[in-house]
């Protein structure tokens, strides 16, 4: 069974991203075609990138990087729950992504964005980053508006029409995650 991380992409105090991720997780748990886990980047206390060697070399010196790398390596695919800050992703999410390289490769990703424009610009930014990391990102995404899916811009109350969009995105992540796992297994027969 595929393992999929639902990554909370904000570390701000009083963030709404945790509520969004819990909603994604709750709906994902109703499925039987993959195993899902919430991964909160805040739990990893990653400083600004402090590795002396580029991540593409896989020579991690810092213990926090090694712990983060082991967690990300354990997944077949990802769902990024991302806020939109100034037409892009949070610095904390970008920093967490940038710590690693090979652990992201040949996996699949989907996106749940939130913000004044549904987080769509943050998702577009993430798509470019995913391409560089050799992550296959799926077309379907969920766009949550601060104006219509949050009471007083802070209490998460998603419209019901987001559920089919979330399930479509998860269907694609699972399909592509399975295909990418086959690719990884062919490249490394010991994984099979």
Topology at the third CATH level for domain 3-191: Rossmann fold (3.40.50)
Q: Where are the beta strands (DSSP E) in 47-165?
A: 77-83, 107-115, 135-145, 150-151, 155-156
- Secondary structure letter of residue 70 according to DSSP: H
The pair of three-digit structure tokens given for residue 38, joined into one six-digit string:
């919430």
Per-residue pLDDT at 190:
67
Ranges of the chain whose pLDDT falls below 70:
189-192
Count of all residues that appear for the chain in the document: 192
Three-class secondary structure of residue 126 per DSSP = helix
Residue 71 Ramachandran class (φ > 0 left, ψ -120 to 50 alpha, else beta):
alpha
Per-residue pLDDT at 186:
85
| Cβ atoms of 37 and 27 closer than 8 Å | no
Per-residue pLDDT at 188:
76
| Cβ atoms of 70 and 100 closer than 8 Å | no
């Amino acid at each position: 069974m595929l393992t999929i991380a639902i990554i909370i992409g904000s570390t701000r105090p009083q963030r709404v991203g945790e509520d969004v991720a819990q909603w994604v997780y709750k709906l994902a748990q109703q499925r039987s075609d993959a195993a899902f886990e919430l991964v909160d980047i805040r739990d990893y206390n990653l400083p600004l990138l402090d590795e002396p060697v580029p991540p593409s070399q896989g020579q991690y010196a810092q213990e926090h990087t090694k712990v983060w790398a082991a967690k990300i390596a354990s997944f077949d695919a990802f769902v990024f729950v991302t806020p939109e800050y100034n037409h892009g992703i949070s610095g904390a999410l970008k920093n967490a992504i940038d710590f690693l390289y090979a652990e992201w490769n040949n996996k699949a990703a989907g996106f749940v964005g939130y913000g004044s424009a549904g987080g769509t610009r943050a998702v577009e930014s993430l798509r470019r980053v995913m391409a560089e990391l050799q992550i296959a990102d799926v077309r379907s995404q969920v766009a949550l508006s601060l104006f219509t899916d949050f009471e007083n811009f802070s209490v998460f109350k998603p419209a019901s029409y987001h559920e089919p969009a979330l399930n479509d995105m998860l269907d694609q992540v699972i399909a592509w995650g399975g295909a990418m796992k086959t690719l990884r297994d062919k490249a490394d027969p010991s994984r099979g």
